[in-house]
Structure 1
Amino acid sequence: MHIHEMLLESERTGEPSFSFEYFPPKTAQGVQNLYDRMERMSLLGPKFIDVTWGAGGNIADLTNEMVVQAQTLMGLESCMHLTCTDMGLEKVNDALRKAYKSGCTNILALRGDPPRDKEKWEATDSGFTYAKDLVGHIRDAYGSHFDIGVAGYPEGCDDNKDEESLLDHLKEKVDKGASFIVTQMFYDADNFLRWVRRVRERGVTVPILPGIMPISTHAGFLRRANHMGCKIPPEWVAAIEPVKNDDAAVREVGKKLVADMCRKLLSSGLIHHLHFYTMNLAHSTRMVLQELDWLPSAERPLKHALPWKQSLGLGRREEDVRPIFWRNRNKSYVLRTQDWDEFPNGRWGDSRSPAFGELDTYGIRLPGTNEQNREKWGEPKAVRDIANLFVDYLENRLETLPWSESPLTDEGLVIRDDLVTLNRRGLITMNSQPAVNGVKSDHPIHGWGPPNGYVYQKSYLELLVHPDLYKDIIARIARHPDITYYAVTKNGDLETNAPSDGPNAVTWGVFPGKEIVQPTIVETVSFLAWKDEAYKLGIDWAHCFDAGSPSRRLIEGVMDSWYLVNIVNNDFQQGRAIFELFDGLEVKDMDVPAVEAPPATDGA
C-alpha cells in the first residue's frame, strides 16, 4: 500500500498513525537481533517501517534484504531509502528491481551524504546530481508503482542553511513526482510548524511526516542533536540537565518532553502522522507511544485483515487461505511456499499441488547457536522437564519454543488453563485455538476482517502424544462423531478419520456484501509437509546437546517414538469437548531420564 494512501486513511479515521525507521547493523548477529526486534515492534502497530540505505557493497545489499524480510516474512509495509551517493545508474536500477520484486511499493529518494574522504558531494559517472533527478528516474521507470518520498529540512542541511533555496528544491522534488515528505529530526516544535506553513505557501500539498527522535541517554541526545545541527529548546535543557547522569530518569523526562512536542504538532491540524527514528532501539520509542496512549489495547486492538499474519510479498497479497499448522512459524511457511503458482488466486485448489519445497532448500532449521538454545531451554533430562518448558511458555516465562517463533498470543490465554493442565500430564501441546461462536469482527482478541462482520472458529489442538496413550486417545475420538484427527509418526505412518483429503475450514468469517471467508484450514498434504518440519525442529533441538548425553537421548527418543496428532472439533459450539477427550490421561513415566527406542509399527 502506498504511504500517502495510508496517511489519508489515518487522517480520515483520526486513528493514531506512526512509523519506524531502522538502519542495517554491521554484524550478522546484529541483523538477526534486529529482525527479532522489528517483529516485536510490529505489535505496537506502525503503519509502515523504513530502512536506511548503505551506499555500496554489503550494506546496500543488506538494505534490500531487510526490505524483503519485512515485506515477505513479517508482513510489514516498508519504505526503502535510496540515495545517489556513489550510485551509478546500474546500481540504482538494481536496487529498484529488488525492491519491486520484494513487493515494496514505497521509496524514499535521497541525494545522500558525501563519502567521508570527500569534502563536498560530487555525482558519480552516469549518476544523479540531485534527489529530484532520482525522483524523476523512478517515476519514469516504474510509473505509479512506487510512492516516492523525499527529505525536508526544517533547520537546514549540512551543506545548505538557506531556507529559501531548500524550499525551492523541495518544490522541485514534488513537481518531479514525490508524494510525501519525511523531515530531519528536530526538537523545536514552533519552528517546525512555521516551516510547514512556509512549505504549504509554496503550493506543496503532499503529506509531511515529522522526524521524531526519542531520548535514550543524555549523551546520545546531545550527540544526535549536534550532529544534525538541530536547536534544543532551553526548557528541554533545564529539564534534562539535573538528571543527566541517570539514564532511566533521562528516559522518563525525555518521553514526556517528546510526547508533549508530538501533541503540539498533532493539535496544530497540520500533522497527522509521526515518523520515529528508532536507532534500532525499542524501549524509548515505546515509552513515547505509551505516554501518548497510542499502544494497542482492548479498547484499541490492532486490526487484522485475516486471523494470521499476511505476507506482503509480490504475488502474495491476495493469499487468503493457509494451513493452521504454521500458526507459530510464519516465516518457514512463507519461504517454503514462495514459488507456489496458486498464490495469485489466493486459493488452495487441488490439495495435491506441490506447495511445499524441500526442507533443506529453504533452510528450515532451529535458529540460534547450540549454546544459546541450551541457555534458553535448559537441559531436559526427563519428559517432565520438556512438559515444564511448555508450561513456562504458556505462563509467559519463555518467549519461544523450538516449534514457536513468538510468545503466546492473547487468544491462547483464553484456553491457557486447559493447555497447562495437559502439559503437566505429559500431553505436549504444540498448537491450539479455542472455539469461537460468532463474535463481532472487531473483537479485541478473536476479531479480524472488515467491520460489522462475525467470525467463527472450531477448537483445535496439536500435540505430541506418548505411544502408550495414543490408542486410548484414538478410541475416545471414535466416540465423538464431531471430532476429526490426523496422526503421524516421524517415519510417516499416517492415520486419520477425516472423510476426505480435502480442506477442512477451522476459521471463517461472515461479512456484509462478501462471500463467506475461510482463511484457515486443515488438510492432508500440508499436514504431512508440516510433519517433516516439526520432527526436524525436534531433532535440531536434540543436536544442541552432545551425542550420548541424557538430553539428546531424551529428545531424540520423543521424536522417534511419539505421535504428532492434530484434532478438530467440528462442532464449534462445544469448545470444552476437545479437552474432555484427555480426562484422566497422563504419561506414567514423567520422571524417567530417557525414552526407549520406538516400537515397530505395522504402518497405516
Structure 2
Amino acid sequence: MHVRDKLAEEEASGRPGISFEFFPPKTAQGVQNLYDRMDRMHALGPSFIDITWGAGGRLSDLTLEMVNVAQSVYGLETCMHLTCTDMPREKVDAALDAAYKAGCTNILALRGDPPREKEKWEAAQGGFRYAKDLVKYIRDKYGNHFDIGVGGYPEGCDDNRDVDLLIDHLKEKVDAGSSFVITQMFYDVDNFIEWVRKCRAKGIKVPIIPGIMPIQTYAAFIRRSNWTKSRIPPEWLEALEPVKNDDAAVREIGKKLVADMCRRILDSDVGIYHLHFYTMNLAQATRMVLEELKLTPSEETPLHRPLPWRQSLGLRRRGEDVRPIFWRNRNSSYVARTQTWDEFPNGRWTDSRSPAFGELDTYGIGLKGTNEQNIKLWGEPKSLKDLSEIFVRYIEGQLDRLPWSEAPITAEADAIKSDLIDLNRRGFLTINSQPAVNGAKSSHPVYGWGPKNGYVYQKAYLELLIPPYLIDEVLDRIKQNPDLTYYSINKSGQLRTNTSDSPNAVTWGIFASKEIIQPTIVETISFLAWKDEAYRLGEDWAKCHARESPSRKLIQSVMDEWHLVNIVNNDFHKTHDIFDLFKGLTVKNLDVEVPADVPADGVTSESQ
C-alpha cells in the first residue's frame, strides 16, 4: 500500500499515524537482533517502516535484503531509501528492480551524504546529481507503482543552510513526482511550524511528516543535535543537564519533552497527522514516547489484523489468505519455506504447491540463538519434570520463546492457560493451541481480525508431544468422540490419522458482502512438512548441550521416541473436550534424572 494512501486514511480517521526508521547493522548477529526487534515493534502499530541506504551504496545489498525480509516475513509495509551518491544508473536500476520484486511500493529518494574522502559531492558517471532527478527517473520508469517520498530540511542541511532555497528545491522535487515529505530531525517546534507554512505558501501541498528523534542518552542527544545542527530549546538543556549521567532519568525526562513536542505539532494548524521516529535501531525510547502519547494499540484501539496470522506483503503473496496452523508460531519459517511459490490462485491453498516446501536445509528454519543464549534462557533440564517446567514458564509468560514458538505466548491462550499448565505439569509437552471461539466480533481485541462488523470463529486445537507408551490410549480416547480428528506421527514418519485428505478449516470469518473466509487449516501435506521441522528444532535444542550431558540425552530421547500429535475439536462450541482426553493420564517417572553415563541412544520414556 502506498504511504500517501495510508496518510490519507490516518487524516480521515483523526488518529495520528506513526512510522519507524531502521538502518542496516554492521554484523550478521546485529542483523538478526534487528529483525527480532522489528518484529516486536510491529506490535506498536506502525503504518510503515523505512530502511536507510548507505553512502555510495556501501550497504545496499543488506538494505535490499532487509526490505525483502521486512515485507515478506514480517508483513511490514516498507519504504526503501535510495540515494544518488556514488550510484551509477545501473545500480539504481538494480535496486529498484529488487524493491519491485520484494513487493516494496514506496521509495524515499534522497541525494545522500558525500563519501568521507570527497570534499564536495558529485554525481557518479551515468548517475543523478539531485534528488529531483532520481524522483523523475523513478516516476518515468515505473509510473505509479512506487510512491515516492523526499527529504525536507526545516533547519537547513549540511552543505546548504539557506532554508528558503531548500524549500524551492523541495518544490522542484514534489513537481517531479514526489507525493510526501519526511523531514530531518528537529526539536524546535516553532521553527518547524513556520517552515511548514512557508512550504504551503510555495505551493507544496503533499503531506509533510516530521522526523522525531527520541532521546536515548544525553551524550547521543547532544551528538546527534550537533551533527544535524538542530537547535535545542534552552529549557530542554536545563531539564536534562542535571541528570545527564543517569540514562534512565534522561529517558524519562526526554520522553516527556519529546511527547510534548509531538503534541504541539499534532495540535498545530498546519495539518500534521503522522509522526516518523528515528529509532536508531532501538525500541525503548520510542516506545516510551508512544506510550506517553497514548498512541500504542490498546483494547480501545487494537492493532487491526486483516487475518489471524501475520500476513506477508511480498509481491506475489499479498492475496494469500490460507495458511496451515502448524506455522502459527513460526511465521518467518513458513514464509521462507514458501517464498519461491509462484502460484496463488485467488489466494487459495492447493496441493499444486506442495513441492514448494522444499528441503529443510534450503531455509533458515533452525533454532535461533547461540548455544550459550539458549542454555541461559531454558536452563539445563535433567528430568522430564525439568523439561515440562520450561513449557509451563513459557505459558505463564516468563519466557519469550520456545524452540517451536518465535514469540511470547499471546492473550488468546488465557482462556486455556490453566489447562495447558496442568497438561504440561503431567508431562505432556504442548507446542501449539487455541481455544474455541463462537462468533466473536471481528473488532475483538484478542480474537478479532478482518473487516469491521464481522464475526470470527475457531475450533479448539491442540498440538503436543506424547510418549510412545501412552499414544495408543490417547488415540483410542480420541476415536470415541466423533467431533475429534487427529494426526499423529513419530520421527521416523509413521503417520496415523482419522481424517480424509482434505483441508480442515480451524478458523473462519463471516463479513458483510463477502464469502466465508477460512484462513487457517489443518491438512496432511503440510503436517508432514511441519513434522520434519518440529523434530529438527528439538534436535537443535538438544545440540545446544554437550554431547554426554544429561540435558542433551533427555531432549534427544524425546525427539527420538515421542509422537507429535495434533487434535481438532470440530464442534466450535466446545474447548475442553480436547483436554478431557487426558484425564487420569500422567507421564511416568517425571522426577527421574538422566544420569550422565547413560548412552545418548539409551534414554527412552520406557527405560526411565
* TM-score (normalised: structure 2): 0.97
Contiguous gaps of at least 5 residues in structure 2:
595-600
Q: What residue is the counterpart of 2:557 in the other structure? A: 557
Counterparts of 1:399-438 in structure 2 under 5 Å? 399-438=400-439
Contact 2:55 2:113 in 1 (8 A): no
Q: Deviations over 1:59-91 (max 9, x none)?
A: 111111111110011000001101111111111
Contact 1:23 1:280 in 2 (8 A): yes
Contact 1:315 1:344 in 2 (8 A): no
- For 1:15 and 1:516, the matched residues in 2 are separated by 30
After TM superposition, give the deviation of residue 348 of structure 1 in Å.
1.0
Q: What residue is the counterpart of 2:227 in the other structure? A: 227
Task: Give the letter aligned to residue 415 of structure 2.
Answer: V
Q: What residue is the counterpart of 1:382 in the other structure? A: 383
Contact 1:351 1:503 in 2 (8 A): no
Contact 2:316 2:342 in 1 (8 A): no
Task: Give the letter aligned to residue 293 of structure 2.
Answer: L
Q: What residue is the counterpart of 2:521 in the other structure? A: 521
Counterparts of 1:172-571 in structure 2 under 5 Å? 172-269=172-269, 270-350=271-351, 353-498=354-499, 500-571=500-571
- For the residue of structure 2 that corresponds to 1:353, the secondary structure is helix
- For 1:8 and 1:421, the matched residues in 2 are separated by 49
- For 1:357 and 1:413, the matched residues in 2 are separated by 35
After TM superposition, give the deviation of residue 288 of structure 1 in Å.
0.3
After TM superposition, give the deviation of residue 371 of structure 1 in Å.
2.0
Q: Deviations over 1:442-478 (max 9, x none)?
A: 0000000000000000000000001122111111111
Aligned length: 599
- For 2:162 and 2:105, the matched residues in 1 are separated by 32
Contact 2:209 2:274 in 1 (8 A): yes
- For 1:55 and 1:242, the matched residues in 2 are separated by 37
- Farther-moved stretch of structure 1 (310-319 vs 549-558): 549-558
Task: Give the letter aligned to residue 378 of structure 1.
Answer: G
After TM superposition, give the deviation of residue 44 of structure 1 in Å.
0.6
Relative to 1, partners in 2 of residues 1:592 and 1:599: Cα closer, same or farther, differing over 3 Å? closer
Task: Give the letter aligned to residue 569 of structure 1.
Answer: N
Task: Give the letter aligned to residue 158 of structure 1.
Answer: D
* TM-score (normalised: structure 1): 0.97
Contiguous gaps of at least 5 residues in structure 1:
none
- For 1:51 and 1:140, the matched residues in 2 are separated by 23
After TM superposition, give the deviation of residue 244 of structure 1 in Å.
1.8
Q: What residue is the counterpart of 1:140 in the other structure? A: 140
- For 1:521 and 1:228, the matched residues in 2 are separated by 52
Q: Deviations over 1:112-131 (max 9, x none)?
A: 11111112111111111100
Q: Deviations over 1:581-603 (max 9, x none)?
A: 11111101112334846699xxx
- For 2:375 and 2:57, the matched residues in 1 are separated by 35
Q: Deviations over 1:373-396 (max 9, x none)?
A: 222211111111111110111111
Relative to 1, partners in 2 of residues 1:599 and 1:549: Cα closer, same or farther, differing over 3 Å? closer
After TM superposition, give the deviation of residue 343 of structure 1 in Å.
2.3
Task: Give the letter aligned to residue 216 of structure 1.
Answer: Q
Q: Deviations over 1:181-231 (max 9, x none)?
A: 000001111110111111111111111110000111111111111110111
- For 1:57 and 1:552, the matched residues in 2 are separated by 45
Task: Give the letter aligned to residue 469 of structure 2.
Answer: D
Task: Give the letter aligned to residue 152 of structure 2.
Answer: G
Q: Deviations over 1:226-271 (max 9, x none)?
A: 1101111122122222222221111111111111110111111410
Task: Give the letter aligned to residue 59 of structure 1.
Answer: L
Task: Give the letter aligned to residue 563 of structure 2.
Answer: Y
Contact 1:149 1:181 in 2 (8 A): yes
Contact 1:316 1:344 in 2 (8 A): no
- Farther-moved stretch of structure 1 (360-369 vs 188-197): 360-369
Task: Give the letter aligned to residue 195 of structure 2.
Answer: W
Task: Give the letter aligned to residue 300 of structure 1.
Answer: T
- For the residue of structure 1 that corresponds to 2:462, the secondary structure is strand
After TM superposition, give the deviation of residue 352 of structure 1 in Å.
7.4
Contact 1:411 1:446 in 2 (8 A): yes
After TM superposition, give the deviation of residue 56 of structure 1 in Å.
4.1
Q: Deviations over 1:490-544 (max 9, x none)?
A: 010000111x111000000000000000000000110010001000111111111
- For 1:599 and 1:422, the matched residues in 2 are separated by 17
- For 1:256 and 1:598, the matched residues in 2 are separated by 58
- For 1:178 and 1:341, the matched residues in 2 are separated by 32
Task: Give the letter aligned to residue 534 of structure 2.
Answer: A
- For 2:244 and 2:593, the matched residues in 1 are separated by 54
- For 1:106 and 1:366, the matched residues in 2 are separated by 33
Counterparts of 1:37-116 in structure 2 under 5 Å? 37-56=37-56, 59-116=59-116
Task: Give the letter aligned to residue 398 of structure 2.
Answer: R
After TM superposition, give the deviation of residue 572 of structure 1 in Å.
0.7
Identity %: 68
- For 2:352 and 2:66, the matched residues in 1 are separated by 33
Q: Deviations over 1:337-372 (max 9, x none)?
A: 112233253111237732411101113211222222
- For the residue of structure 1 that corresponds to 2:354, the secondary structure is coil
Contact 1:123 1:129 in 2 (8 A): yes
- Farther-moved stretch of structure 1 (503-512 vs 472-481): 472-481
Contact 1:455 1:509 in 2 (8 A): yes
Contact 1:561 1:597 in 2 (8 A): no
